[in-house]
Amino acid sequence: MNLDELNQIKTIALQAATAAQTTEEIEAVRIEYLSRKGRLPLLMAELKNVPAEEKPLFGKAVNELKKELTECIQARQSEAAPKTQQPLFDCSQPGQWQSLGTRHPITQITERITSIFQTLGFTVADGPDIETVFNNFDALNTPADHPSRDEQDTFYLNSGELLRCHTSPVQIRYMKENKPPIRIISPGRCYRRDTSDATHSANFHQIEGLYIDEEVSLADLKATLNHFARELMGPKAEIRFRPHYFPFTEPSVEVDIKHDKLGWIEVLGAGLVDPNVFINVGYDPACCSGFAFGMGIERIAMILFGINDIRHLYENDQRFLAQF
């Protein structure tokens, strides 16, 4: 084998690769020349019989032929491969536009209530969902035998802590770190061992308020809640107070707001902060007084939006949520 014979093989191989039309024909050329038992590997095996002075040129020529033929076959394979028919864009087809998302009803009511109290100078305070027994019960003057402390009502953790039953612990934390005057609201999630039904959920939302200063009276509480009711329900909204009991306020009241269509509706609980709560956070009850209130956000959302089942608020049904 000499260089002239090698050039003849090169010419024939490239012509065969160029002339092949189908993928099968191209593959046949590849097998004939480039496979393990093809003609090019056999040519490399002939290198030992080539005169010593021609070996470098012969080996270089074989490698160049292999490279050139490989590139030629790859190009022909690409050209012969069946082209996937791409679907054409139908300009006459109506567009399928995605509408913008909406804020969840709970978020809407939370923002609405927060905005009302911010106009009165309240600021938003936040706290952790996992609380200590002291912040959740003891500091709030809750008796040791109070039913809310029972395991069937409260989610206790192995650490001895618990999932907060209300957002009142935020008020305790804030009072520990700040001195009067204080004017805060604390929206957030709460957790109780309630059986889920149309009006109850083990995970719900509250928003509570706290105002502490000198000589704060029940009249201040009533004026604040009157303003809140008018802003929430309309300028003709009325409120009424009914005596009640809460461990952390004295006197305590339930507050009803008169709805245009539904009549009187119980909306929140409130009262003047019990002096024992002040003592538990290091305040002097003789130097300050205040009021606190709390309401369930789901309940207000159900009233304002006409929702008859609290579970609708947690099922993430887009057909339901899109209405708001």
d(CA 78, CA 76): 5
> Could you tell me if 200 and 125 lie in one domain?
yes
The per-residue pLDDT for 45 is 77
Q: Which residue has the higher pLDDT, 23 or 174?
A: 174
> Could you tell me if 156 and 281 lie in one domain?
yes
Confidence label for 1 from pLDDT (cuts 50, 70 and 90): low
pLDDT tens digits, residue range 199-247? 888 899 999 999 999 999 999 999 999 999 999 888 888 889 999 999 9
> Could you tell me if 132 and 268 lie in one domain?
yes
Does residue 224 form part of some domain? yes
Does residue 160 form part of some domain? yes
Tell me which residue range forms the domain holding 308: 105-321
> Could you tell me if 38 and 182 lie in one domain?
no
Contact residues for 266 (Cβ-Cβ < 8 A; gap 6+): 254, 255, 256
pLDDT tens digits, residue range 152-204? 999 999 999 999 999 999 999 999 999 999 999 999 999 999 888 888 888 99
pLDDT tens digits, residue range 303-318? 888 888 888 888 888 8
Does residue 88 form part of some domain? no
> Could you tell me if 196 and 70 lie in one domain?
no
> Could you tell me if 18 and 123 lie in one domain?
no
d(CA 279, CA 288): 11
- Angle at which helix 55-80 crosses helix 3-19, to 10 degrees, equals 0
Confidence label for 9 from pLDDT (cuts 50, 70 and 90): confident
Question: Taking a C-beta distance cutoff of 8 angstroms, is the pair 245, 274 a contact?
Answer: no
Does residue 87 form part of some domain? no
> Could you tell me if 195 and 300 lie in one domain?
yes
The per-residue pLDDT for 187 is 96
Confidence label for 124 from pLDDT (cuts 50, 70 and 90): very high
- Mean pLDDT of all residues in 295-300: 92
> Could you tell me if 129 and 252 lie in one domain?
yes
pLDDT tens digits, residue range 126-143? 999 999 999 999 999 999
Please give the angle made by the CA atoms of 222, 305 and 164, to the nearest 5 degrees.
65
Number of domains into which the chain is organized: 2
> Could you tell me if 147 and 293 lie in one domain?
yes
First-to-last CA distance in the chain? 87
pLDDT tens digits, residue range 37-94? 778 777 777 777 777 777 778 778 778 888 888 888 888 888 877 665 566 677 777 7
Q: Buried b vs exposed e over 118-134: b needs ≥16 C-beta within 10 Å?
A: eeeebeebebeeebbee
The per-residue pLDDT for 280 is 95
> Could you tell me if 166 and 275 lie in one domain?
yes
Measured CA distances, 51 to 3, 47, 187, 205 (Å): 11, 9, 94, 93
Please give the mean pLDDT across all residues of the chain: 87
> Could you tell me if 22 and 158 lie in one domain?
no
d(CA 269, CA 247): 12
pLDDT tens digits, residue range 257-272? 887 777 888 889 999 9
